[in-house]
Structure 1
Amino acid sequence: MRGGSSPQRDVLDVESLAGHLLPVGSVFRFLAEHRDRLFPDALFADLFPSGRGRPSIPGEVIASVIVLQSLHGLSDREAVDALTFDLRWKAACGYPVDAKAFDASSLTVWRARLASSERPQRIFEVVRDVIAATGAVKGRQRRVLDSTILDDAVARQDTVTQLIAQVRRVGREVPGAHQVIAERCTRLAALTGQGYDSTAKPRIAWDDAQARDELVTALVNDALALLDGLDVETITAAGGKPAEAIALLALVAGQDVEPAEDSDGTDGRWRIARRVAPDRVISTVDPQARHAHKTVERRQDGFKAHVVIEPDTGLATMVELTKAAGPDNSDATVGARLVVADPTITGPVEVLGDSAYATGDMLA
């Protein structure tokens, strides 16, 4: 939540009482002295456009906490505990010594609003601009490239679960779709006795390959019947959640299936494909999440974070979050783009990275 900051100091303000103890050059001292200019109220005005009421936490406080949280690798709960009990955090964020931090869920709210805004990286951009303006990396022409997989909390869904869930979603999001489902999507109920309003696992003999193929056939044909019964062109042109639901249903109805073994593809018989679709959607709950693995043994679901770091100072000069799979999101492709776009590089640069960055295009 967002509130306005006040220039008046509290009688127990930590910065006033013990600000001189903060090490010169430390991020705590830097935020204590400059957070109001770094993160003015106007920087976050677009995140809370409603004029009804005024959220209670100033943007400069939230932004300072997010910066410190990122630097120290803390969870939301650990970050608010540090703001409550660590005097350095209190001084950096302008908190009095006896003040309790806000609830950890506020960080989730702010991140969600930042992520959906037109400037999702504004906090990082401000810090990077300060790095460039102060010359903290001036003359330093080496950059380290690295990436890591960030786990997504969403559970990976199989084809059957995705199809059922997405038919339900279309029924919720698209006006009139619920009636189309009742009239046209009848194959699942005919096969298992369960409709799309049931949350139970379809009752079939799961160890029987033929039974599994019959279930996939029923679900795919129900999905195609639903798409055929809707004005897809008009819904897509209108955009918004209905268009997204329709597009995702069409995707999951085709990404994992292929015609049955003795089918020519025209008789409506399907089975799970004997291959993995490129850029496969792993969950309809979070369609942007992808399956990836940094090593053969370590397999993860989520996103990939890319970073450019000046190695002597440890300052990050560029960051980007991408899907975890696909050639456009590879380490070398994204790394090359970030190095070229890095505004703190003013001349020839020496790039350090592992073998993932040793492609021909990257070397060129």
Structure 2
Amino acid sequence: MSMQPSGPNEVPGQTARVARAAFPNGSLAIRVRDGLGPLFGDEGFVDLFPARGKPAWSPGRLALVLVLQFVEGLTDRQAAEAVRARIDWKYALGLELGDPGFDFSVLSEFRDRLTGADGGRRVLDGILAAAGERGLLTTAGRARTDSTHVLSAARELSWLEMVAESLRAALNALAQEAPQWLVQAAEPDWFRNYATRAEDSRFPKSRTKRDEVGARIGRDGMRLLEAVFSPGTYEGLRTLEQVEYLRQVWVQSFHLVEGEVRRRDPKDRPPGAMRLVTPYDSEARGSVKRDTVWDGYKVHLTETCEPDALNLITNVATTVATVPDISMTDAVHAQLAQVDRLPGEHLVDAGYVDAHLLVSTRREYGITLTGPVAGVISHQAAANNGFTADDFSVDWEGEQVTCPGGKTARCWNPDRSPEGTPVIRVRFSGGQCRPCPVREQCTTSSRGRRLTLRPREEHEALRQARAEQDTETWKDHYKTRAGVEGTISQAVGRCGLRRSRYRGLAKTSLQHQLTGAAINLARIDAYLTGTPRARTRTSRFAALGPAEPKLSGAE
């Protein structure tokens, strides 16, 4: 399909008259059109379409349809029907009353185009740009970020189901690509064991018999892979997605021991970042966060949080489930910098903060990173009766450290931590520590106390952050971060944030960008109508108890 961009679409006169009569108090779609104007132009999506072919439905209008679809939680069929039948949607889209709309499959095809070009970010940025032009977006102040888990669209599988389904998926792909070859290569019992989904059969309850089933699946999969990769077999079969997935699953799950296929020991399997969990979503990964265990992804939401101002989501980042929050702090800042939406202060939880980021965030982006930093990790700190590293005086110019007992260590060695970050190793000799009168409060080692310091700027930033976060002023200021929990709750309740609608990281990321755009549209509508923010719900029993201090910004 081709696309010839058109200019900004005006609302037809008849559509406007009928919409005003049918909705005297307006609706979200009408108010957003009146307040923000046409949100998306066709020219913003020109690169998604070829120059020749059948003319496509307006991509600018389709982008708005996708956002309205997420605002109201509609399916593709329902969204297409709303374009055909609802007057307020025709008003928002600038359509004639008699416009027949489009087939619902157009939405799926348009999402595929957006997925291939990171188009979800264009949609979110389009709404933010319109809000900024009308003075509804303030980004120079404070922002807050948090993450939550996202379940894969494919259901969670047990190990037996996963290997059985991986083999079955490969067999189906080969049956479609090379049916005659597969008839010759398949074992007779494969048609009985893998003709239906694993969930439709019952695996034995006995552990011994289940192990036998797993071993049988392992042997069958190994035979199939040997046949596919044997000389003379058509090489195109090896590049099939399901066959490559089967190969990876078998490498991770089985190995040959004296010529027999056996299941790998748990300690011999790959780490979670590499471990495959389902053949129906090859990018999903399994992860654990406290009591939550899931297969899928993780999403990070960043929003403005200035007092008495409209809070809008300014960035959405989706990763596989195993990516830690700490690795996303700089990534979020880089994404915000690209669109000139960096905040002056960024409120985050402990997962996004370390000494290096406290320094680099201010140096590279001019942002004050505010969040709880980890305390001193040592047996002295755990016992709460000894000298921690913060009790030692550091002479950075002289490259020496003085302990609370008055001894000075001059053994100063720049080094690297196991994670590759620069550190400084400081060592007191055993002769200095053994006769020290406060040795019991410092070290039990006969070789003397050892310290690991960060570079000066990071060391001082960490000490300052630890001192500040113990004050009531800091704690009261930090309460504003709690409001992002309400944003996640809103996105979960309204748009199903924690369950991916699609398979794969790219499509899941598009879903989250559209979710962010939908939440922004709903918040802009609430702002235009003067709807106050909902307060935190309190149960009747809790209301009988003593009043607690209100969490600023947590509404």
TM-score (norm 2): 0.50
Deviations 1:239-289 (A, max 9, x none): x99343332112221334577xxxxx3342423744675133222111122
**Following TM superposition, by how much is the alpha carbon of 1:124 offset from its aligned partner in structure 2, in angstroms?**
2.5
Q: Which amino acid aligns with 2:316?
A: V
Q: 2:243 is matched with which residue?
A: 246
**Following TM superposition, by how much is the alpha carbon of 1:82 offset from its aligned partner in structure 2, in angstroms?**
6.5
Give the one of 258, 262, 269 matched to 1:266. 258
5 Å-filtered alignment, 1:113-262, equals 113-117=113-117, 119-128=119-128, 137=137, 140-173=140-173, 182=183, 186=187, 189=189, 194-199=192-197, 206-231=204-229, 242-257=239-254
Give the one of 263, 272, 277 matched to 1:278. 272
**Following TM superposition, by how much is the alpha carbon of 1:133 offset from its aligned partner in structure 2, in angstroms?**
6.8
Give the one of 321, 324, 340 matched to 2:318. 321
Query: Residues 292 and 299 of structure 1 are in contact (CA less than 8 Å); yes or no, is this contact kept in structure 2?
Result: yes
Query: Residues 164 and 196 of structure 1 are in contact (CA less than 8 Å); yes or no, is this contact kept in structure 2?
Result: yes
Q: Does 1:63 pair with 2:63?
A: yes
* Gapped regions of structure 2 (runs ≥ 5): 360-555
Q: 2:369 is matched with which residue?
A: none
Give the one of 319, 328, 334 matched to 2:328. 334
Query: Residues 164 and 198 of structure 2 are in contact (CA less than 8 Å); yes or no, is this contact kept in structure 1?
Result: no
Query: Residues 301 and 315 of structure 2 are in contact (CA less than 8 Å); yes or no, is this contact kept in structure 1?
Result: yes
Distance of 2:259 and 2:168 partners within structure 1: 25
Query: Residues 306 and 335 of structure 1 are in contact (CA less than 8 Å); yes or no, is this contact kept in structure 2?
Result: no
**Following TM superposition, by how much is the alpha carbon of 1:294 offset from its aligned partner in structure 2, in angstroms?**
5.4
Distance of 2:12 and 2:110 partners within structure 1: 25
Q: Which amino acid aligns with 2:333?
A: V
Distance of 1:226 and 1:155 partners within structure 2: 26
Q: 1:262 is matched with which residue?
A: none
Q: 2:428 is matched with which residue?
A: none
Query: Residues 336 and 342 of structure 2 are in contact (CA less than 8 Å); yes or no, is this contact kept in structure 1?
Result: no
Distance of 2:234 and 2:298 partners within structure 1: 29
**Following TM superposition, by how much is the alpha carbon of 1:102 offset from its aligned partner in structure 2, in angstroms?**
5.4
Q: What is the number of equivalent residue pairs in this alignment?
A: 344
Q: Which amino acid aligns with 1:228?
A: E
Deviations 1:67-126 (A, max 9, x none): 3445x3633377567767876544322135676875655434432332234645332344
Distance of 1:172 and 1:166 partners within structure 2: 10
Query: Residues 204 and 211 of structure 1 are in contact (CA less than 8 Å); yes or no, is this contact kept in structure 2?
Result: no
Q: 1:74 is matched with which residue?
A: 73
Distance of 1:17 and 1:34 partners within structure 2: 17
**Following TM superposition, by how much is the alpha carbon of 1:341 offset from its aligned partner in structure 2, in angstroms?**
2.9
Structure-2 change in CA distance of 1:302 and 1:219 (3 Å): same
Query: Residues 2 and 52 of structure 2 are in contact (CA less than 8 Å); yes or no, is this contact kept in structure 1?
Result: no
Percent of pairs with identical residues: 21
Query: Residues 143 and 346 of structure 2 are in contact (CA less than 8 Å); yes or no, is this contact kept in structure 1?
Result: yes
Q: Which amino acid aligns with 1:248?
A: Y
Range moving further from structure 2, 301-310 or 92-101: 92-101
**Following TM superposition, by how much is the alpha carbon of 1:342 offset from its aligned partner in structure 2, in angstroms?**
0.8
**Following TM superposition, by how much is the alpha carbon of 1:54 offset from its aligned partner in structure 2, in angstroms?**
3.5
Q: 2:92 is matched with which residue?
A: 92
Q: Which amino acid aligns with 1:219?
A: I
Query: Residues 166 and 248 of structure 1 are in contact (CA less than 8 Å); yes or no, is this contact kept in structure 2?
Result: yes
Structure-2 change in CA distance of 1:197 and 1:267 (3 Å): same
Distance of 2:89 and 2:124 partners within structure 1: 19
- Equivalent residue of 2:251, what SS? coil
Query: Residues 146 and 301 of structure 2 are in contact (CA less than 8 Å); yes or no, is this contact kept in structure 1?
Result: yes
Structure-2 change in CA distance of 1:104 and 1:134 (3 Å): same
Distance of 2:96 and 2:177 partners within structure 1: 55
Which structure is larger by alpha-carbon Rg, 1 or 2?
2
Structure-2 change in CA distance of 1:2 and 1:65 (3 Å): farther
Deviations 1:145-184 (A, max 9, x none): 1223333332223333333333344345458765665555
Structure-2 change in CA distance of 1:83 and 1:164 (3 Å): same
Q: 1:28 is matched with which residue?
A: 33
Distance of 2:197 and 2:239 partners within structure 1: 22
Q: Which amino acid aligns with 1:250?
A: R
- Equivalent residue of 1:121, what SS? helix
Give the one of 278, 298, 305 matched to 1:304. 298
**Following TM superposition, by how much is the alpha carbon of 1:205 offset from its aligned partner in structure 2, in angstroms?**
6.5
Distance of 1:143 and 1:111 partners within structure 2: 29
**Following TM superposition, by how much is the alpha carbon of 1:13 offset from its aligned partner in structure 2, in angstroms?**
1.9
Range moving further from structure 2, 124-133 or 14-23: 14-23
Structure-2 change in CA distance of 1:185 and 1:96 (3 Å): same
Range moving further from structure 2, 115-124 or 81-90: 81-90
Distance of 2:88 and 2:197 partners within structure 1: 50
Q: Which amino acid aligns with 1:247?
A: E
Query: Residues 142 and 345 of structure 2 are in contact (CA less than 8 Å); yes or no, is this contact kept in structure 1?
Result: yes
Q: Which amino acid aligns with 2:167?
A: V
**Following TM superposition, by how much is the alpha carbon of 1:213 offset from its aligned partner in structure 2, in angstroms?**
1.9
Distance of 1:348 and 1:207 partners within structure 2: 56
Distance of 1:345 and 1:54 partners within structure 2: 35
- Equivalent residue of 1:253, what SS? helix
Distance of 2:63 and 2:162 partners within structure 1: 37
Structure-2 change in CA distance of 1:46 and 1:245 (3 Å): farther
Q: Which amino acid aligns with 2:93?
A: C
Distance of 1:21 and 1:233 partners within structure 2: 73
* Gapped regions of structure 1 (runs ≥ 5): 260-264
Distance of 1:107 and 1:193 partners within structure 2: 38
Query: Residues 145 and 303 of structure 2 are in contact (CA less than 8 Å); yes or no, is this contact kept in structure 1?
Result: yes
Query: Residues 14 and 96 of structure 1 are in contact (CA less than 8 Å); yes or no, is this contact kept in structure 2?
Result: no
Distance of 2:342 and 2:200 partners within structure 1: 62
Structure-2 change in CA distance of 1:91 and 1:10 (3 Å): closer
